[in-house]
């Protein structure tokens, strides 16, 4: 068994099964979760990985042994678990390792109403308890009356809730290719889209946590090649790709070209502002200039945050924001307990596309205004030293502003870049945006020359 420091991350638990953790440890996590949340009842769900049912059931046993009633919702997407937590008003635990390879598994935990559990909001305490029990040999105290474990299927309720938030009744018929990557989208998409004027072309809907076709990570270009080809081959209006636990959604247009998540953020922001005039929209500092521009044009207020779901959710709660988006295709909705749901974002895109006659490429042009590099990773031994060298190079540049909200951001009238250190690997991540491709290439190459010197 590995050190808990290797599997308890900033926002979740994640590691290789059974080398780094197993069902006996999952049971201790269940007991600790029960103690830290002080809940009388919780809800637990899991994805399609081979190890998920056993780990999930062990966690439920650990919580029930502390007197907590457990509702098991079985196979579900992560946003379906958030729905259950929000709708039932219960803390929740989702067993998934998202887009990681098959041998990994993990736990995403939340308090009642889908409020995130991270290092500062309970995860550190959970780890301390589990460490004490697993190393000291003292088991958590069982109670006289254990909790009950019951099963409940919430898929139809989840689909109905999403459909209640987006009007799809009057859209024109659309041909939609969906690549579920053998992940949980194969479970949720048929129910969510059932009865809509959608000709669904399913790809890799068979639930298989060994991912026989490709990794369930649509942000990596090689994993959407099949989707792009199928959209072109079938003459579809749009293609959607979900990650393993189906909380992220990636979009390709009718030509099979990827639509940047920033453009989706801007499109959904405009639609949410039509419903909630003057609302606040959260975006992380790597999303495109297009996002705050579109928000301002639609009478909203844009708030810029650090990268990461805990920061987005924190700001959404603080500001009462109606919507938030990230460059990584995570989309957060006030109407969904401030939690992220790629499925709801996908419904907004279908509604926008089906509500007008033109193709998707034409529709998104108004939301995709600049040239961008995408995220470029450089492996470096000295992250701080290389970042400092970049800062020194741009410090005196006329007309440039520097800020360090999250890494280093340098902004001029014609371009900006952000350079951030990875929390988990010896990497520096670079994102560049400019008014044209040539400027993107020039700035990218200048910065990388310093980073990789």
Q: Rounded distance, CA 237 to CA 57, Å?
A: 41
Burial label for 138, CB within 10 Å (0-12, 13-18, 19+), is exposed
CA–CA dist 359, 416 (Å, integer): 30
Interatomic CA distance for residues 367 and 80, integer angstroms: 29
Q: How far apart are CA 13 and CA 29, in angstroms?
A: 10
Neighbours of 274 (CB within 10 A): 11
Burial of 144 (0-12, 13-18, 19+ CB in 10 A): exposed
Cα distance between residue 405 and residue 421, in whole Å: 12
Token representation of residue 184:
């949980």
The alpha carbon of residue 63 and the mean position of all alpha carbons in its chain are separated, in whole angstroms, by: 26
Exposed / middle / buried, residue 405 (Cβ in 10 Å: 0-12, 13-18, 19+): middle
Question: Helix, strand, or coil here: 162?
Answer: helix
Question: Which of these is catalytic: 52, 56, 77, 98?
Answer: 98
CA distance 181 to 216: 5
What whole-number distance in Å separates Cα of residue 130 and Cα of residue 279?
42
Let me know: does 104 contact 14? Beta carbons within 8 Å: yes
- Tell me the C-alpha to C-alpha distance, in Å, between residue 200 and each of 156, 236, 342, 346: 18, 9, 17, 13
User: What SS3 state is found at 165?
Assistant: helix
User: CA–CA separation, 424 vs 286, rounded Å?
Assistant: 19
Close Cβ partners of 413 (under 8 Å, ≥ 6 residues apart)? 399
Give the contacts of 411 (CB within 8 A, at least 6 positions apart): 400, 401, 402, 403
Tell me the C-alpha distance between 35 and 23, whole Å.
Answer: 19
Q: How many helices (H) and strands (E) does the chain have?
A: 15, 22
CA-only gyration radius of the chain, Å: 22
Q: Is 254 left (phi over 0), alpha (psi -120 to 50) or beta?
A: alpha
CA distances from 341 to 213, 229, 295, 362, 378 (A): 24, 26, 20, 25, 30
Residue 98 catalytic?
yes
Residues belonging to the active site: 98
């Amino acid at each position: 068994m590995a050190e808990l420091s290797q599997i308890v991350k900033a926002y979740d638990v994640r590691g290789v099964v059974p080398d780094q953790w197993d069902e006996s440890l999952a049971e201790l996590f269940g007991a600790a979760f029960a103690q830290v949340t002080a809940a009388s009842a919780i809800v637990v769900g899991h994805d399609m990985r081979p190890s998920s049912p056993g780990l999930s059931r062990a966690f439920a046993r650990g919580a029930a042994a502390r007197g907590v009633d457990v509702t098991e919702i079985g196979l579900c997407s992560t946003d379906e678990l958030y729905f259950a937590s929000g709708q039932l008003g219960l803390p929740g635990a989702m067993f998934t390792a998202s887009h990681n390879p098959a041998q990994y598994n993990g736990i995403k935990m939340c308090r009642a109403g889908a409020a995130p559990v991270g290092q500062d909001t309970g995860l550190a305490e959970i780890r301390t308890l589990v460490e004490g029990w697993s190393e000291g040999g003292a088991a958590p105290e069982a109670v006289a009356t254990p909790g009950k474990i019951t099963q409940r299927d919430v898929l139809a309720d989840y689909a109905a809730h999403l459909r209640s938030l987006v009007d799809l009744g009057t859209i024109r018929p659309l041909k939609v290719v969906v690549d579920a990557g053998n992940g949980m989208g194969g479970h949720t998409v048929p129910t969510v889209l059932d009865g809509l004027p959608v000709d669904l072309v399913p790809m890799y809907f068979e639930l298989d946590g060994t991912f026989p076709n490709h990794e369930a990570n649509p942000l990596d270009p090689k994993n959407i090649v099949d989707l792009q080809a199928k959209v072109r081959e079938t003459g579809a209006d749009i293609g959607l790709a979900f990650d393993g636990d189906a909380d992220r959604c990636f979009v390709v247009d009718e030509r099979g070209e990827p639509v940047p998540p920033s453009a989706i953020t801007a499109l959904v922001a405009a639609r949410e502002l039509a419903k909630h005039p003057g609302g606040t929209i959260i975006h992380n500092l790597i999303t495109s200039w297009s996002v705050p521009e579109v928000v301002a044009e639609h009478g909203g207020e844009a708030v810029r945050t650090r990268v990461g779901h805990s920061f987005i959710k924190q700001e959404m709660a603080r500001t009462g924001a109606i919507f938030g988006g990230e460059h990584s295709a995570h989309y957060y909705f006030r109407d969904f307990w401030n939690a992220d749901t790629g499925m709801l974002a996908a419904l907004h895109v279908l509604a926008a596309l089906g509500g007008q006659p033109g193709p998707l490429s034409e529709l998104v042009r108004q939301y995709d205004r600049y040239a961008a590099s995408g995220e470029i990773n450089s492996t470096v031994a000295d992250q701080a030293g290389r970042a400092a060298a970049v800062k020194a190079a741009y410090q005196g540049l006329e007309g440039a502003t520097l800020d360090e909200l999250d890494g280093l951001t340098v902004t001029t009238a014609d371009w900006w870049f952000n350079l951030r250190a990875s929390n988990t690997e010896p990497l520096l991540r670079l994102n560049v945006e400019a008014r044209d491709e040539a400027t993107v290439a020039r700035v990218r190459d200048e910065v990388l020359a310093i980073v990789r010197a």
